[in-house]
Each structure stands twice: as structure tokens, then as C-alpha cells.
Amino acid sequence: MRRHKIPRILKTLTGTAVIAAMIMGLAATAWARTPSEADLGEAQARLAALQAQQAEIQAVIDGLEDQRDDVEAYIRELDAQMEDMTDEYNELTGRLDLVSEALERSLTDTEQLEADIDEQYEAMKLRIRFMYENGETGLLDMLFSSTSLSDFLNRSEYIRELTGYDRDRLARYEEMIADLAEKRVELEALQTEIEDARAELEVQQETLELILAAKQSELEGFEAEIDAASGELHSYDGVMNAAAAEVNAIVAEIEARQLAEQQEAARQAAEAAAAAAAAAAAENPEGESAAPEQPVEVPTQLVGTIASGWTWPVPSIHHITQYYGNGHLGIDIADGRGTSYGAPIVAACSGTVVVSRWSDSAGNWVVIYHGRDGDGDQVYTCYMHCSSLCVSVGQQVSVGQTIGYIGSTGQSSGPHLHFQFRFNGMYPGAATTDPLNYVGY
């Protein structure tokens, strides 16, 4: 089974982690100055390098875990084999015990038969010796002591039968001894066979135990290496968090600086626009900062009180690019991305359209008269630089009704709505107010 060269890899990665920490410290010192886009790129590159190193360590851990799983599976297989061997060993031991018991019984039976043979043999020798020592005298005695010929013949036949019985008995004993000896040879052969099989099984068990011990040691080694690699991986947490915080801090500082620059540019542009508007108003009484047309006469029948309820004039855009003040007599409404063109413009309050035409300074513009306020002043709203108009003079409009669309007609630097509030007429110098006093966004 192939092994990762983990210690060397971890040693390398550990060195890398130390170097990364040193670099982070040097970077923190270097960024005492204001960071730039280049600094951000370098910080992001360092973070990516640390992430790559983490990924490399994780890959090593994954590989170790795969190998550990393989070893565990192999150990389970070896355990199963050991269990089978143990069962087989126990079976052989049981058989060996049975054979040993049978062999022991055979030996006991053989010894008993040999004792019986000895006893029978001794008895037969005594009888033979008796007959030999008595010789014919014994036969004559049997003849003279017999009551008849038949009795004599019976007695002599008895002697012959008795001698034959001894021979037959001895022969039977010898056969039994031979059978037992043959059986004992078979049992001894079986005993040897079982002992050899058990001895071989013991060798296999010992070998398997050695393999198991080696695999267990290898498994412990994998566990130690995984723990070491996991510790190394966790050691990156602090450096990674510092690197991520560093990137976030640089991004936040750059964004804050850019926002400040944009705000300063907007302020300067507003001041310049206000100065230009003031100059234009001084030279051209019909300029946007004053009134784009001559005074508008309000018919007597239109004089009345303002209907309740005001609304924001551009429902789809709630962003102001230039506020009221510093010579700017209204507010400019646009999305700030140059994509406001064509957005619907609605009447901020119900009223009567008193202007709906073209002006060189205001472009397409609309003026709505809304009546008198609580102080008795006539209130007008003006909508300038429209791309097109959809109401006409004398038309009654409701609050929220579309009256035109955002454009960049007349003296305009881009698509927007210039929205004004005027009081008591549309002549140059008429009183104005911040539209945000009436409408909210």
C-alpha cells in the first residue's frame, strides 16, 4: 500500500505557515501608509496563496484518511480470517481430543487382552504340563477309572476339546491384538495428521497476528499523521483570518476614500453648477434658476386652496443628484448612473396645468398650479427637461398622474428632472422653497 510522505510535506507546510505569518507581519507594517489598489491585489494574492496551502494540506488529510480506511478494511478482513482460523483450530483440537481418547481406549483394551492371553496361556501350560507329566498313566487311569467304554471315550474327548479350546482362545486373542494394533496405527496416523494440521494452523495464526500488529501500528501511524496534518491545518486559521481581515480593511479604506472623493467631486460640481446658474440668472432672466418663461397669469377661477396630499414626482427613482440651495432653486432627480431617461414623471399634487411647452433653457417643461396654501400664497410646481409631455394647458390632473418623462432637453448635462416649488407667480425672482419641505423620498 502506497504511503504519503507526510512528515516531509508537513515540515514544508509548517515552514510555509511560519513564512506566511512573517509576511503578514511585514505587510501590516508596510500598510501603515494609505493602501492602494496594488496593495489590495497583493493582499488578495497572499490570501489566495494561504487558501491554496490549506487546500494542499486538506488534500493530504483526505489521502491519509482514504489510506486509513483501506487499512481498517484490511484489518477487518484479517480479523475475520483470524476468527475462521480460531474456529478451525478449536475444531481440530476437539477432533484430536476424540482421537486421543480412542487411542487411549485402544491401548487399555490391548493391555487387557494381553493380560487375558497371558492368563489363558498360563492355564493352558499347566494343563499341558499335567498331561505330559502323567503321560499314558493318565490315560490308563482314565481307562480303569471309567465305568464304561463310553465314559472313557467321553473323558478323552473332553481332554482333546479342552486343548482345542485353549488353542482357539489364544488364536482369537491374537487376532484381537492384531486388530487393535492395526487400529492403533490408524489412530496414531490420524493423531499425527491432526497435530501437524494444528501446528500449521498455529504458524498461520502467529503470522496473521504479526500482520495484524503491523497493520495496527500502520493504522496508528495514519492516525498520528492525520492529527498532525489537522493541527497544521488549524494553525492556518489565525493567519487566514488575519489575511481576510487585512483584505477587508484595505477594501473598506479604499471604498471610503473613493466615497470621500466622489462626495468632494459632487460638492465641487454643485458649487460650480450653482455659480454657473447664478451667472446665467444674472445674464438671462429666463434661465432655469429663475423662471424659464415670462410671468404666468393665473385665471381667477383657478384660485382656491391646495388639495391635501403630496407625492414624490418620480416613483421609480428616489435619488437626488443636486439639492436645493446655493443658487439652485430646486432639486435634480436622477439615478446617478445615466439610465434615468424615460422614467415617468407624475403630478406631485392635484391641480391645473398652466404651462406645457418648450423652452430653450428648461426644454420640455410643465407647470401645475395647486391653489393657495394656509398662508394664502399661490403654490406652483415646475417639471423641467422632460423628454416628452403628456398633458396640455388647462388640463386638470390628479396627484400621481403621469404628466411627462425624464429627459435631457434644454440646458441640461444629462437625463434628470429639475423639480421646483414656486409661490405667487412664475416670474423671475418669484419665491421658492426646498421641495423636500413638501415631498419626501
- Report pLDDT for 210: 87
Instruction: For residues 71 and 144, state if they share a domain.
Output: yes
Mean local confidence (pLDDT), 164-176: 73
Instruction: For residues 122 and 200, state if they share a domain.
Output: yes
- Report pLDDT for 163: 64
Q: How many residues does the chain have?
A: 441
End-to-end CA distance of the chain: 72
What share of the chain has pLDDT > 90, as a percent?
23
Domain that holds residue 360: 293-437
The residue from 192, 218, 250 where one domain ends is 250
- Report pLDDT for 331: 96
Backbone angles phi, psi at 410, to 5 degrees: 75, -150
Instruction: For residues 422 and 364, state if they share a domain.
Output: yes
Lowest average pLDDT, out of 151-160, 179-188, 229-238, 316-325, goes to 151-160
Query: Is the pLDDT at 197 greater than 50, yes or no?
Result: yes
Does any domain span residue 195? yes
Specify whether the CB–CB gap between 60 and 9 falls below 8 A.
yes
Residue among 244, 264, 263, 248 nearest 35 (CA): 248
Cα 355 from Cα 369, distance rounded (Å)? 9
Mean local confidence (pLDDT), 372-401: 93
Q: Read out DSSP for 204-230?
A: HHHHHHHHHHHHHHHHHHHHHHHHHHH
User: pTM for this one?
Assistant: 0.37
The full 3-state SS of 295-330, as one line of letters, equals CCCCCHHHCCECCCCCCCCCCCCCCEEECCECCECC
Residue among 311, 348, 318 nearest 333 (CA): 318
- Report pLDDT for 288: 43
Instruction: For residues 298 and 246, state if they share a domain.
Output: no
Mean local confidence (pLDDT), 291-308: 49
Q: Which residue has the cell 439652485?
A: 328
Mean local confidence (pLDDT), 136-156: 58
Does any domain span residue 349? yes
pLDDT grade for 260, boundaries at 50, 70 and 90: confident
Residue among 28, 41, 183 nearest 109 (CA): 183
Instruction: For residues 220 and 314, state if they share a domain.
Output: no
Amino acid at residue number 86: T
Does any domain span residue 267? no
Instruction: For residues 241 and 300, state if they share a domain.
Output: no
Does any domain span residue 102? yes
Does any domain span residue 322? yes
Domain of 301, CATH number, reads: 2.70.70.10
Cell reading at 255 = 471604498
Mean local confidence (pLDDT), 40-64: 85
Q: Going by C-beta distance under 8 Å and a sequence separation of 6 or more, which residues neighbour residue 246?
A: 24, 27, 28, 31, 43, 47
Instruction: For residues 106 and 216, state if they share a domain.
Output: yes
Instruction: For residues 223 and 297, state if they share a domain.
Output: no
Mean local confidence (pLDDT), 184-204: 81
The residue from 215, 250, 285 where one domain ends is 250
The domain total for the chain is 2
Specify whether the CB–CB gap between 351 and 307 falls below 8 A.
yes
pLDDT grade for 150, boundaries at 50, 70 and 90: low
Instruction: For residues 331 and 208, state if they share a domain.
Output: no
pLDDT in tens, 86-104: 888 788 788 778 877 877 8
Does any domain span residue 280? no
Q: Going by C-beta distance under 8 Å and a sequence separation of 6 or more, which residues neighbour residue 3?
A: 67
pLDDT grade for 198, boundaries at 50, 70 and 90: confident
Instruction: For residues 305 and 243, state if they share a domain.
Output: no
Domain of 229, CATH number, reads: 1.10.287
pLDDT grade for 291, boundaries at 50, 70 and 90: very low
Cβ atoms within 10 Å, residue 387: 17
Mean local confidence (pLDDT), 391-419: 94
Average pLDDT, the chain: 77
Q: Going by C-beta distance under 8 Å and a sequence separation of 6 or more, which residues neighbour residue 74?
A: 215
Query: Is the pLDDT at 381 greater than 70, yes or no?
Result: yes
Instruction: For residues 303 and 381, state if they share a domain.
Output: yes
Does any domain span residue 378? yes
Instruction: For residues 238 and 299, state if they share a domain.
Output: no
Q: Going by C-beta distance under 8 Å and a sequence separation of 6 or more, which residues neighbour residue 251?
A: 40
pLDDT grade for 272, boundaries at 50, 70 and 90: low
SS3 347: coil
Cα 339 from Cα 11, distance rounded (Å)? 57
- Report pLDDT for 33: 58
Cα 410 from Cα 56, distance rounded (Å)? 64
Cβ atoms within 10 Å, residue 417: 24
pLDDT grade for 160, boundaries at 50, 70 and 90: low
Does any domain span residue 23? yes
